[in-house]
């Protein structure tokens, strides 16, 4: 009897070890197949969205754009983005990521290159709006797509590895953009025109490659073995059964979910410091330290490397502890402290350090936060809910750059605007640490009891 039990235990260990091996090899193959590619797509996305920040070092002077005009053009991108984001994600859920992400990339790459033709503020506004329309749905679409491939307990690291494209795009794009400004007068084009032309082309090329590389669902993944495909599909289904997300919720049900609207609050508040930093940091660093375009780009790139490391650590810690809200709240608090340093210090190095802390705090916040929506929604409701949260947040993308430009023109300094932005980040930390954990816990227990 003892021997039988021992054999049973031994067999159980073998089975567990075999399953662990399949799990390990499956997730390694999925990660290697998908994450580097969507990371590259996101790098191009962020560069094309934000390259006006480095182009402004030359473009604003050439075209005589005021701070208000530049801030409005930077922010109006998000009007087009917000209007088309939810419909875009619903189309993605219906036709598949492969087709729709390819369409998004080709169209935004063409518009991004067309920015070289801008000569008036109105043209600047129109093309920035169209860039937002073309790009709408890319980020929430990829977040939704990755939720179809990574079980919830592995999602924090996966999202962090995808989203470090945001700071890495700064590390690559800002020095690259500064170098492209040096092509000034080549073939009769200004440096900022070369920047827009050359940085839009890779997005078009990768959009075509997307059609070939991406696989819509694990069930269709011929690059997985049968055992690996079966293991992944089974665990994603188990994930779905154990989820607190309501079953059979229609896509439009996301619009009536109180938790979706609650999630939108901190994300809107955190979008303001994110894009305030993104579109104003190069100009503010240059003015504070009196650096050249290339030196400014290198400083922004160094900050981006620090924030990328912070994002990876936050994602790993969030997965290890299986906790999302408090991790995100820590990032929001750091961003608030950074804004306070920018606004209240008269020291140029302290202001630059404050800007760095804003960027690091926002990145720490991002990965844990985006693990939350797929836990609360599923299916087409998840696609709509993720897009809705991101769409509302992107209103903050309009508010941040424009408010700083307006305050800077009116007062000669951005201090007052950064105090406002810091207060918003602190409010986000409050919601994430005190309100959201309690509400999500109540929803979880209510749904589990009903099931």
158-214 pLDDT tens trace: 888 898 888 888 788 878 888 999 999 899 999 999 999 999 999 999 999 999 889
Per-residue pLDDT band at 417 (split at 50, 70, 90): confident
Instruction: Give the C-alpha separation, 326 to 365, whole Å.
Output: 9
Q: What value, to the nearest 5°, has the Cα angle with vertex 424 and ends 423 and 429? A: 95
Q: What value, to the nearest 5°, has the Cα angle with vertex 79 and ends 422 and 429? A: 25
Per-residue pLDDT band at 448 (split at 50, 70, 90): very low
How much is the average pLDDT of 227-235? 91
Contact 83, 395 (CB under 8 A): no
Q: How far is CA 241 from the centre of its chain?
A: 28
How much is the average pLDDT of 39-46? 94
Instruction: Give the C-alpha separation, 293 to 312, whole Å.
Output: 29
Q: What phi, psi does 353 have (nearest 5°)?
A: -65, -40
Residues sharing a CB contact under 8 Å with residue 428, sequence separation 6 or more, in sequence order = 265, 266, 267, 269, 270, 329, 332, 365
Residue 4 has pLDDT above 50, yes or no: no
Instruction: Give the C-alpha separation, 4 to 183, whole Å.
Output: 77
How much is the average pLDDT of 269-290? 88
Q: What mean pLDDT value characterizes the chain?
A: 85
Q: What is the pLDDT of residue 244?
A: 53
Higher-confidence position of 31 and 240: 31
Domains observed in the chain: 26-450 (1.20.1250.20)
Q: What is the pLDDT of residue 6?
A: 42
How much is the average pLDDT of 409-434? 89
Residue 296 has pLDDT above 50, yes or no: yes
Q: What is the pLDDT of residue 250?
A: 55
Per-residue pLDDT band at 337 (split at 50, 70, 90): very high
Least confident of 22-36, 118-132, 372-386: 372-386
Q: What is the pLDDT of residue 246?
A: 53
Q: What value, to the nearest 5°, has the Cα angle with vertex 283 and ends 136 and 370? A: 35
Q: What is the pLDDT of residue 383?
A: 76
Q: What is the pLDDT of residue 251?
A: 59
pTM (predicted TM-score): 0.75
Choose among 179, 199, 360, 365: nearest CA to 277: 360
């Amino acid at each position: 009897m003892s021997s039988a039990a021992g054999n049973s235990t031994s067999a159980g260990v073998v089975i567990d070890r075999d399953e662990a091996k399949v799990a390990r090899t499956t997730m390694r193959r999925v990660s290697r197949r998908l994450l580097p590619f969507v990371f590259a797509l996101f790098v191009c996305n962020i560069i094309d969205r934000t390259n006006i920040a480095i182009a402004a070092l030359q473009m604003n002077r050439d075209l005589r754009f005021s701070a208000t005009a530049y801030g409005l053009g930077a922010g109006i991108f998000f009007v087009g983005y917000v209007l088309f984001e939810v419909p875009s994600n619903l189309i993605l859920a219906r036709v598949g990521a492969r087709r729709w992400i390819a369409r998004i990339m080709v169209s935004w790459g063409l518009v991004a290159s067309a920015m070289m033709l801008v000569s008036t503020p109105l043209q600047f506004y129109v093309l920035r709006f169209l860039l937002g329309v073309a790009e709408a749905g890319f980020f929430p679409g990829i977040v939704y797509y990755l939720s179809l491939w990574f079980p919830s307990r592995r999602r924090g690291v996966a999202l962090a590895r995808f989203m470090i494209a945001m700071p890495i795009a700064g590390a690559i794009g800002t020095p690259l953009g500064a170098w492209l400004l040096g092509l000034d007068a080549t073939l009769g084009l200004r440096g900022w025109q070369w920047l827009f032309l050359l940085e839009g082309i890779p997005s078009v090329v990768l959009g075509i490659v997307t059609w070939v590389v991406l696989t819509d669902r694990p069930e269709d993944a011929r690059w997985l073995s049968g055992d690996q495909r079966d293991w992944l599909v089974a665990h994603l289904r188990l994930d779905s059964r154990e989820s607190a997300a309501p079953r059979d919720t229609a896509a439009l049900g996301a619009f009536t979910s109180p938790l979706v609207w609650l999630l939108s609050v901190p994300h809107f508040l955190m979008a303001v410091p994110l894009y305030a930093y993104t579109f104003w940091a190069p100009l503010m660093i240059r003015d504070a330290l009196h650096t050249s375009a290339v030196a400014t780009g290198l400083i922004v790139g160094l900050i981006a490397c620090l924030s990328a490391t912070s994002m990876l650590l936050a994602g790993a810690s969030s997965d290890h502890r299986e906790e999302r809200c408090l991790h995100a709240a820590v990032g929001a608090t750091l961003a608030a402290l950074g804004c306070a340093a920018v606004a209240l210090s008269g020291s140029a190095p302290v202001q630059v350090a404050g800007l760095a802390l804003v960027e690091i705090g926002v990145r720490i916040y991002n990965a844990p936060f985006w693990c939350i929506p797929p836990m609360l929604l599923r299916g087409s409701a998840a696609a709509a809910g993720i897009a809705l949260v991101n769409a509302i947040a992107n209103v903050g993308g309009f508010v941040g750059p424009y408010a700083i430009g307006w305050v800077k023109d009116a007062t000669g300094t951005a201090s007052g605007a950064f105090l406002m932005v810091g207060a918003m980040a602190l409010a986000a930390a409050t919601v994430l640490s005190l309100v959201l954990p309690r509400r999500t816990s109540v929803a979880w227990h209510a749904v589990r009891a009903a099931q």
